[in-house]
Amino acid sequence: MNDIIDVTSTRPYALVVHGGAGGHHWRLDEAREAAFRAGLRAAYLAGESVLADGGSALDAACAAVLVFEDDPLFNAGRGASLTADGTVEHDAAVMTGNGRGGAVTLARRVRHPILLARAILDTPEVLIGDPDDDYVRGFGLELCPNEWFITDERRAKLAELQATDTNWDDHKHGTVGCVALDASGHLAAATSTGGYDNKPAHRVGDTPLLGHGTYARDGVVAVSCTGRGESFMQGVVSHEVSARIEYGLQDVASAAADTIAAEISGRGTTGALIAVTPAKRCVLAWDSPTLLAAWRDGDQLMTHI
Query: How far apart are alpha carbons 137 and 148 in whole angstroms?
Result: 18
30-47 pLDDT, tens digit per residue, is 898 999 999 999 999 999
Whether 16 has a pLDDT exceeding 80, the answer reads: yes
Range 79-98 burial, b when 16+ CB lie within 10 A, else e: bbbbbeebebbbbbbbbbbe
Whether 294 has a pLDDT exceeding 70, the answer reads: yes
Contact 173, 25 (CB under 8 A): yes
- Domains of the chain with bracketed CATH: 3-304 (3.60.20.30)
- pLDDT at 29 (0 to 100): 80
- pLDDT at 26 (0 to 100): 62
3-state secondary structure of 111: coil
Residue 261 DSSP code: I
219-265 pLDDT, tens digit per residue, is 999 999 999 999 999 999 999 999 999 999 999 999 999 999 999 99
**Mean pLDDT of all residues in 133-157:** 97
pTM for the whole structure: 0.96
Whether 76 has a pLDDT exceeding 80, the answer reads: yes
Provide the angle, in degrees to the nearest 10, between the axes of the packed helices 57-70 and 30-52: 150
Strands 127-129 and 221-227 come out as unpaired
Confirm whether 303 is a catalytic residue. no
- Of these residues, 175, 226, 270, 277, which one is catalytic? 175
- Where is 301: in which H helix or E strand? strand 300-304
Contact 177, 225 (CB under 8 A): yes
